[in-house]
């Protein structure tokens, strides 16, 4: 075998294991340890009893005492001269070796890297120190660029080192081994408790995020979140936030949060069903488990021990055949059901928020204003009772598991919960990250009425003072206890404003409101009826081509009544019902009309309108069904009615020519178009 063949084999095997199409779009860590090496060897078709020994032997073969990295340096030179897209870099195996050494150092709490690396390469420690920065350190950067040049198709880069300090040279290797797959699973759980959006909506200010996320992660751990033993010391160390390791972990958290897709999966990347406890207080049936359906499991069948269940559409809450027992609540659920990971994370106090009139489900934490039930373990009753004085025992469901109690009105005030891990979920909050709230919002997005910008809410963050920066100016420093900054007091002018609060960045648009524009007049295509009632005049017409629905309103002028847009007018209010009667319109015409289509922004079908009033110009009464149609012989009556209406618009009162024109067009239409007929 030629010299270097073994090293090249390991290089290819490791690169294929970590950087492949399955990793496309995901953060990839070259986290090499003994177990990973074993998997690499097996995946590459050469299982070996001692993969570490084989790997280091292959590395030693191409290394030399005074030129430890020369072999890779020469091959890298040739590789760099290749045109992109370049093949697998030749230095992956030596980077993997440094990661392996960093992993050893992490386990032994020994901070050095050079000596173990020199020993692994059978090289001089002095030579390793002398050449490391120009070779290995540079190659970590080259690996990052290679992955980016491939548009993340083989994974996204994660290697990073601080710009100064002890790990500024060797930090890349640590960045690859500090957290492991299970840690990242825990991170996803942590992210899901933040209540923050994912994807581009997150708007994370990456440079500011590290420390804040580290502190919030640590708080989450202290309140019962999961953490591996590898990272436990960072939770216990009060100075960890400012340590190199703490900053590195914060950086990884920020990176992971930026790329988080909003889901949680188990460490083996199996699809996961995360159970919630559900209460139906109307049916008063016992508590049951259900699972929000993730996209990858929508419509799939999953076999549970008590029977199979067909999951619903994405995000549906599907009931699963598992009993809510005392043991399940106390110890959690962890099942493998036909390749699907089914889990329920135990909590001593389970907040349950209303999701329907009589339908409550367990949540990570309550939102502001939410009503709450709480399922409380007997061991927590004293603490719960003290913190939630308004809570009252509930018998709204049957057969609450032994050792557990159900309470309603279980919200607790935020100020009393500090330090109480189990009750944290009962503290209403929108997000555990800084966020915007309130303000006079105009529609969707971050558009607000000028003068009504939102408030910035900064949740508590242990030991961190959070800057709130508006348009580049620091406007507030929020202490660690958290707080709210009212932007309305800043006198912001209309226009776009940049708001940075801690780790998050928002663009807020303040829009001046100049004038109210009336909705466009509908086009009348077919008048169908005219009639003079006792006190009112009524006409109906088929209206098509509505570009904007009429508003839900009864106009100021009392002679005119608008009953609403299709789907919202299906119940004539008591105030308007007499007018329906006066108009001679059948009440049945106020049945729902494709409300669903309207609410989903789809074009809704033509609908009937009727105008009511002795003197007034336009206002629309929208009806869901067809009012009684008159045959052709009503034409004369209709024309007469239209003339009457037009003549009754008092010129001395109504100065709006558009309305007069509109009525004129109506009149001319009524007297000149084809015969009205049934649709």
Partner 1 sequence: MDQLLEWCSAREQGSRSSFRDAHAWCTGDERPGAANRALAILETLGHVEVDWAQGGDWAVNPPVLALLRGAGGNALAVGARSPALKERLERRGSLRAVGQRDGPEAWYVSVSTIEELGELALSAGLGAAMDVAGAYSELLPSLDDVVTAGRREVGPGGVEISRFDRLTLRFEPFPWPRGRWPDGAYEHRGAGPTTYALRLEDDGCSVVDRRTAVHFELRRLRRETGDGQFRAFDWSTEGDTLLCDRRTPLPLLQLRTAVLATGLLPQARTLDAHPRLGTRRVEAFVGVHILAYEAIARSLDPPCP
| Minimum distance from residue 104 beta carbon to partner 1 (Å) | 55
Q: Which stretch binds partner 1 (CB under 8 A): 217-225, 390-398, 432-440, 600-608?
A: 432-440
Decide: 527 and 611 in contact? Cβ < 8 Å.
Answer: no
Instruction: Give whichever of 167 and 565 is closer to partner 1, judged by the CB atom.
Output: 565
Query: Is the link from the previous residue into 129 a cis peptide, with omega within 30 of 0?
Result: no
Taking the complex as a whole, how short is the minimal distance between the CB of residue 335 and partner 1, in angstroms? 34
Which stretch, 18-26, 119-127, 260-268, 554-562, contacts partner 1 (CB under 8 A)?
554-562
Question: What's the min distance (Å) between Cβ of 507 and partner 1?
Answer: 19
Question: By CB under 8 A, what part of segment 311-370 binds partner 1?
Answer: 357-358, 369
Residue closer to partner 1, measured from CB, 512 or 631 = 512
* Shortest spacing between CB 334 and partner 1, in angstroms: 36
Q: How far is the CB of 588 from partner 1 (least distance, A)?
A: 13
CA dist 147 and 143 (Å) reads 6
Compute CA distances 507 → 450, 555, 629, whole Å: 14, 37, 53
Given 68, 155, 522, 564, the residue binding partner 1 (CB under 8 A): 564
Nearest in space to 136 (alpha carbons), one of 169, 160, 103, 113:
169
Nearest approach in angstroms of CB 280 to partner 1 is: 11
Binding mask 277-316 for partner 1 (x = CB under 8 A): -----x----------------------------------
Candidates 577, 629, 644, 649; binder of partner 1 (CB under 8 A) is 577
Structural element, H or E, at residue 331: helix 326-331
Q: Distance between CA 232 and CA 212 in Å, rounded? A: 18
- State the minimum distance, in angstroms, from the CB of residue 652 to partner 1: 5
Residue partners of 495: CB distance under 8 A and separation at least 6? 509, 510
CB 576, min distance to partner 1, A = 9
Q: Interior CA angle at 323 toward 321 and 328, to 5°?
A: 125
Q: What are phi and psi of 51, to 5 degrees?
A: -65, -35
Using DSSP's 3-state secondary structure scheme, residue 309 falls into strand
Residues between 44 and 73 that touch partner 1 (CB under 8 A): none
Helices 51-62, 92-108: crossing angle, 10 deg rounding: 130
Query: Alpha-carbon distance 19 to 153, whole Å?
Result: 9
Site for partner 1 contains 237 (CB under 8 A): no
Strand partners, 476: 468
Q: Shortest gap between Cβ of 497 and partner 1 (angstroms)?
A: 17
Closer by beta carbon to partner 1, 382 or else 516: 516
Decide: 7 and 71 in contact? Cβ < 8 Å: yes
Site string for partner 1, 618-657 (x = CB under 8 A): ----------------------------------xxxxx-
Minimum distance of partner 1 from residue 204's CB (angstroms) = 25
Query: x/- binding map, residues 512-551, to partner 1, per CB under 8 A?
Result: -xxxx-x----------------xx--------------x
490 binds partner 1 (CB under 8 A): no
Our finding on whether 558 is near partner 1 (CB under 8 A) is yes
Query: Which of 295, 575, 588, 677 is in the footprint of partner 1 by CB under 8 A?
Result: 575
Residue 539 burial (CB < 10 Å; 0-12/13-18/19+)? buried
Where would I find the beta strands (DSSP E) of 172-300? Answer: 272-274, 276-280, 288-292
Q: How far is the CB of 577 from partner 1 (least distance, A)?
A: 3
Which lies closer to partner 1 via its Cβ, residue 26 or residue 437?
Answer: 437
H/E/C letters for each residue in 419-487? Answer: CCCCCHHHCCCCCCCCEEECCCECCCCCEEECCCCCEEEECCCCCCCEEEEECCEEEEEECCCCEEEEH
How far is residue 44's CA from residue 461's CA, in Å, rounded to a whole number?
46
**Among residues 1 and 556, whose Cβ is nearest to partner 1?**
556
Question: Where do we find the tokens 């999701």?
Answer: 355
Residue 324 CB, shortest distance to partner 1, in Å, is 23
- Mask of contacts with partner 1, 585-624, x by CB under 8 A? --x-------------------------------------
Q: Which stretch binds partner 1 (CB under 8 A): 195-203, 245-253, 499-507, 559-567?
A: 559-567
Please say which residue, 142 or 396, places its beta carbon nearer to partner 1.
396
Q: Does 413 bind partner 1 (CB under 8 A)?
A: no
Distance of alpha carbon 377 from its chain centroid, rounded? 30
Binding mask 436-475 for partner 1 (x = CB under 8 A): --xxxxxx-----x-xx-xx--------------------
C-beta closer to partner 1: residue 44 or 440: 440
Token pair 């524009």: residue: 517
**Least spacing, CB of residue 264 vs partner 1, in Å:** 29
Cα–Cα distance measured from residue 456 to residue 437, given in angstroms and rounded to the nearest whole number: 6
Cβ 536 to partner 1 shortest distance, Å: 8
User: Count H helices, E strands: the chain?
Assistant: 19, 25
> Cβ 414 to partner 1, closest distance in Å?
14
Residue 572 sits in the site that holds partner 1 (CB under 8 A): yes
Residue 390 interacting with partner 1 (CB under 8 A): no
CB closer to partner 1 out of 262 and 518: 518
H-helix or E-strand spanning residue 337: strand 333-337
Q: Which of 168, 509, 573, 646 binds partner 1 (CB under 8 A)?
A: 573
- Alpha-carbon distance 481 to 464, whole Å? 9
Q: Give dist(CA 185, CA 152) in Å, integer.
A: 21
Pairing of strands 504-511, 447-449: parallel
Compute how many other C-beta atoms are within 10 angstroms of the C-beta atom of residue 578.
12
Distance CA 344, CA 256 (A): 23
Closer by beta carbon to partner 1, 323 or else 551: 551
Residue 241's SS3 state is: helix
**What does the alpha-carbon distance between residue 400 and residue 125 come to, in Å, rounded to a whole number?**
66
Distance CA 27, CA 48 (A): 28
**β-pair partners for 292:** 317
* C-alpha dist (Å) from residue 25 to 209, 259, 474: 21, 9, 36
Under the criterion CB under 8 A, does residue 493 sit at the interface with partner 1? no
**Number of amino acids touching partner 1 (CB under 8 A):** 51
Would you give the DSSP letter of residue 44?
A: T
Binding positions for partner 1, rule: CB under 8 A = 282, 357-358, 369, 438-443, 449, 451-452, 454-455, 511, 513-516, 518, 535-536, 551-559, 562, 564, 568, 571-575, 577-581, 587, 652-656
């Amino acid at each position: 075998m030629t010299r270097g063949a073994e090293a090249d084999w390991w290089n290819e095997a490791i690169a294929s294991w970590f950087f492949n199409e399955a990793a496309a779009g995901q953060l990839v860590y070259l986290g090499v340890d003994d177990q990973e090496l074993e998997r690499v060897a097996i995946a590459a078709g050469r299982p070996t009893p001692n993969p570490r020994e084989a790997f280091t032997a292959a590395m030693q073969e191409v290394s030399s005492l005074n030129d430890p990295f020369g072999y890779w340096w020469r091959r890298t030179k040739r590789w760099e001269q290749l045109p992109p897209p370049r093949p697998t870099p030749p230095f992956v195996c030596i980077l993997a070796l440094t990661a392996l050494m960093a992993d050893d150092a992490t386990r032994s709490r020994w901070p050095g890297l050079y000596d173990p690396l020199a020993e692994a390469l059978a090289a001089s420690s002095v030579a390793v120190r002398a050449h490391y920065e120009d070779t290995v350190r540079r190659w970590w950067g080259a690996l990052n660029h290679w992955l980016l040049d491939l548009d993340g198709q083989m994974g996204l880069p994660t290697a990073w080192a601080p710009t100064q300090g002890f790990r500024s040279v060797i930090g890349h290797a640590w960045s690859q081994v500090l957290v492991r797959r299970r840690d990242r699973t825990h991170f996803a759980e942590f992210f899901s408790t933040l209540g923050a959006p994912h994807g581009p909506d997150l708007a994370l200010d990456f440079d500011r995020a590290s420390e804040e996320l580290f502190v919030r992660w640590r708080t989450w751990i202290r309140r019962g979140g999961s953490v591996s033993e590898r990272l436990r010391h960072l939770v216990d160390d009060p100075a960890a936030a400012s340590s190199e390791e703490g900053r590195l972990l914060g950086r990884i958290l920020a990176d992971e949060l930026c790329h988080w897709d909003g889901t949680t999966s188990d460490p083996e990347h199996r699809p996961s069903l995360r159970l919630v406890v559900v209460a139906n207080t109307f049916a008063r049936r016992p508590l049951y488990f259900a699972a929000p359906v993730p996209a990858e499991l929508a419509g799939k069948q999953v076999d549970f021990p008590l029977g199979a269940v067909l999951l619903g559409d994405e995000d549906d809450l599907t009931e699963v055949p598992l009993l809510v027992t005392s043991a399940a609540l106390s110890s959690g659920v962890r099942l493998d059901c036909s390749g699907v990971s089914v889990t329920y994370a135990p909590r001593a106090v389970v907040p349950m928020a209303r999701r329907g009139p009589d339908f409550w489900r367990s949540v990570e934490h309550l939102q502001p204003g939410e009503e709450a039930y709480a399922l409380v373990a007997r061991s927590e009753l004293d603490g719960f009772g003290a913190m939630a004085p308004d809570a009252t025992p509930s018998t709204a469901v049957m057969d609450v598991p032994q050792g557990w109690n159900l309470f309603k009105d279980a919200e607790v005030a935020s100020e009393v919960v500090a330090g109480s891990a189990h009750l944290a979920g009962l503290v209403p909050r929108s997000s555990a990250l800084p966020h915007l709230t309130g303000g006079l919002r105009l529609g969707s997005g971050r558009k607000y009425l000028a003068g009504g910008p939102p408030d910035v809410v900064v949740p508590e963050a242990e030991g961190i003072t959070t800057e709130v920066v508006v348009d580049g100016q620091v406007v507030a420093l929020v202490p660690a206890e958290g707080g709210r900054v009212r932007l309305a007091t800043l006198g912001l002018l209309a226009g776009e404003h940049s708001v940075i609060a801690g780790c998050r960045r928002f663009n807020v648009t303040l829009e001046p409101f100049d004038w109210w524009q009336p909705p466009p007049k509908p086009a009348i295509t077919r008048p169908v009826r005219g009639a003079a009632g006792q006190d009112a005049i009524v006409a109906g017409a088929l209206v098509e081509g509505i570009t904007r629905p009429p508003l839900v309103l009864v106009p100021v002028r009392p002679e005119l009544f608008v009953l609403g847009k299709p789907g919202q007018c299906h119940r004539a209010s008591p105030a308007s019902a007499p007018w329906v009667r006066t108009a001679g319109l059948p009440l049945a015409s106020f049945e729902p009309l494709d409300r669903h289509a309207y609410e989903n922004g789809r074009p809704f079908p033509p609908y009937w309108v009727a105008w009511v009033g002795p003197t007034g110009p336009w206002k629309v009464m929208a009806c869901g069904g067809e009012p009684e149609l008159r045959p052709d012989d009503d034409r004369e009556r209709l024309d007469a009615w239209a003339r009457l209406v037009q003549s009754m618009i008092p010129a001395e009162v109504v100065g709006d020519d558009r309305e007069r024109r509109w009525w004129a067009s109506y009149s001319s239409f009524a007297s000149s178009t084809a015969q009205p007929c049934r649709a």
